[in-house]
Structure 1
């Protein structure tokens, strides 16, 4: 059980840190010019925290746990990449289908970002889980 907690914490910290850098550097450069007036002045932190908690659980379930059972780091990375692509495709393509201001450019960039971000968090979470398993008997 400790290994899953370590995987969750490792993936969560990695995801939050990497995403924070992306959002602070790209919001004004990428999102604001396209989304303009529909972009909130400040994010709804309750919704943001809920997303992070749920999504990191998905990373543990769909990427880290299978890799711990029978895969290794490559499996965690691949499963994370697929999860990120599917999750971000759901968000981006739904927005592109329903919002006049959404663009194909934003969809492609955000899809790539979600894929790389989730792959990275899954890999780091997997390594944290393995560390816990080896050091703490997790």
Structure 2
């Protein structure tokens, strides 16, 4: 059980740190020019926290846990990348299908971002859990 706590914390801290940099540098440069006035001036932190908690749990369940079972960090990378792609595709393609202002360019950039971010967090979670088990470091 402790390994999953460390997996969650490792993936979560990594996700929060990297995504904070992304959002603070890209929100006004990438998203605001496309979605303009429908973008909130400041995020709804309750919704943001809920997203992070759910996303990290899914990353641990679908990417980190299978990798720990195999003893192979590349499984975390591959599963994390696919999970990130699928989750961000749900968001981006739904927005593209329903919002006049959403662009294909924004979809492609955000899909790449979600894929890389989730894969990175899954690997971080894997190594945090491995460290907690005494199998790394």
The normalised TM-score by structure 1 is 0.96
Between the aligned partners of 1:128 and 1:15, the Cα distance in structure 2 is 13
Between the aligned partners of 1:65 and 1:24, the Cα distance in structure 2 is 31
Equivalent residue, structure 2, for 1:112: 112
Equivalent residue, structure 2, for 1:94: 94
Between the aligned partners of 1:71 and 1:2, the Cα distance in structure 2 is 16
Equivalent residue, structure 2, for 1:49: 49
RMSD: 0.8
Equivalent residue, structure 2, for 1:11: 11
Work out the number of aligned pairs and report it. 135
After the TM superposition, which parts of structure 1 deviate over 6 Å for at least 4 consecutive aligned residues?
A: none
1:134 is displaced (CA, Å) by: 1.1
Between the aligned partners of 1:119 and 1:111, the Cα distance in structure 2 is 12
Query: Is 2:62 the counterpart of 1:62?
Result: yes
Unaligned runs of 5+ in 1: none
Between the aligned partners of 1:105 and 1:54, the Cα distance in structure 2 is 27
1:112 is displaced (CA, Å) by: 0.1
Equivalent residue, structure 1, for 2:28: 28
1:71 is displaced (CA, Å) by: 4.4
Unaligned runs of 5+ in 2: none
Q: Deviations over 1:92-124 (max 9, x none)?
A: 000000000100000000000000000000000
